[in-house]
Amino acid sequence: MKDIMNAPFITEMRKTTANMYRLGWDERNGGNISYLLEEKEVLTYLDGTNVLRTIPLGFDATMLAGKYFVVTGTGKYFKNVEDAPEMNLGVLRIAKDGQNAELLWGFADGGKFTSEFPAHLMSHMARLSVDPENRVVMHCHPTHTLAMNYVHPLNEKEVTHTLWQMCTECIVVFPDGVGVLPWMLCGTNEIGEATAEKMKEFRLVIWGMHGIYGVGKTMDEAFGLIETVEKAAQVYMLTAHLPRVNIIRDDELQVLAEAFGVKYRKDFLG
Ligand code: 13P
Ligand code: ZN
């Protein structure tokens, strides 16, 4: 058995959480990541028959039965993952019954998966139904994205349009736009179901006055989506109170999308 501390997926989780912390997206225990792993890879590091604990999910994840994830723990600080991955991360398998998680490694102090696991697993299910290669669900609290929530109308069309206008490459990076949910109680199956519903259409979903979700085939894709939104939101917040002298017009956004050959939400222009 190889040493899991050398597993590329653990290294990725350590580096990504550290990056996100440094960017100010994950204060205290804010934020969570879940990463769908290949069974073949996991079983070179861990004995799949050695289940340390079985933890109830509280919702049905039958569609993911037998799938392996590495996930951040509830109440755990992103700032601490890099130095103590075994305490702050867990590797688990969704049990055959789809009702439980079987812990194979991690959460060494008796902890468990993030309180947002319903939103994560439901989002994985929704994304896999439209993109069988999706592997990563990422949630965080980026400062400018959050700030924008308080001063800008919170609907998909207006949020997406404004973000597209803030940096030339936005429409190329997220031509599918940004889904938006109103403020809702977090950590519940209800917000999980609402998020998953949006995920059928979007790779980015804003949780009103809370934060954002990004998904992707790789950690880079999910991270890059959130990073691009956050950059655009920062430009918006730096300029929202100033007279607008120049603007990227809708016909220019259209030219951009066409030049890069992306399928964009035409209904979000105009
Ligand atoms: P967890 O500590 O349970 O992951 O919760 C953090 C968070 O961001 C809640 O939305
Ligand atoms: Zn949160």
The domains of the chain are located at: 1-115, 118-270
Q: How many CA atoms lie within 13 A of 123 on its CB side?
A: 33
> Residue holding tokens 């609907």?
155
Indicate the SS3 state at residue 220.
helix
CA distances from 149 to 51, 146, 152, 212 (A): 42, 5, 6, 11
Whether residue 73 has its Cβ less than 6 Å from ligand 1: no
pLDDT value of position 43: 98
Question: Could you tell me which of 111, 108, 124 has the C-alpha nearest to residue 68?
Answer: 124
- Per CATH, 1-115 and 118-270 having the same topology is answered yes
Whether residue 34 has its Cβ less than 6 Å from ligand 1: no
pLDDT value of position 188: 98
- Backbone region of residue 242 per phi and psi (left: phi > 0; alpha: psi in -120 to 50; beta: other values): beta
Indicate the SS3 state at residue 207.
strand
pLDDT value of position 216: 98
Taking the centre of ligand 2 as the mean of its atom positions, its distance from the CA of residue 20, in whole angstroms, is 13
Other CB atoms within 10 Å distance of the CB of residue 69: 25
The CATH number of the structural domain formed by 1-115 is 3.40.225.10
Whether residue 31 has its Cβ less than 6 Å from ligand 1: yes
pLDDT value of position 270: 85
Q: Just list the catalytic residues.
A: 116
Question: Could you tell me which of 86, 88, 93 has the C-alpha nearest to residue 49?
Answer: 93
CA distances from 3 to 33, 44, 88, 155 (A): 22, 9, 17, 47
Interacting residues of 116 by C-beta distance below 8 A, sequence separation 6+: 32, 139, 186, 187, 192
Q: Determine whether 137 is exposed, middle or buried from the number of CB atoms within 10 Å of its CB (0-12, 13-18, 19+).
A: buried
CA distances from 112 to 115, 163, 182 (A): 9, 36, 28
Cβ–Cβ under 8 Å, residues 129 and 88: no
The CATH number of the structural domain formed by 118-270 is 3.40.225.10
| Tokens describing residue 139 | 């949630």
pTM for the complete prediction?
0.98
- Residues of the chain falling short of pLDDT 70: none
Ligand 1: residue of 114, 117, 190 to mutate (most ligand atoms within 8 A of CB) is 114
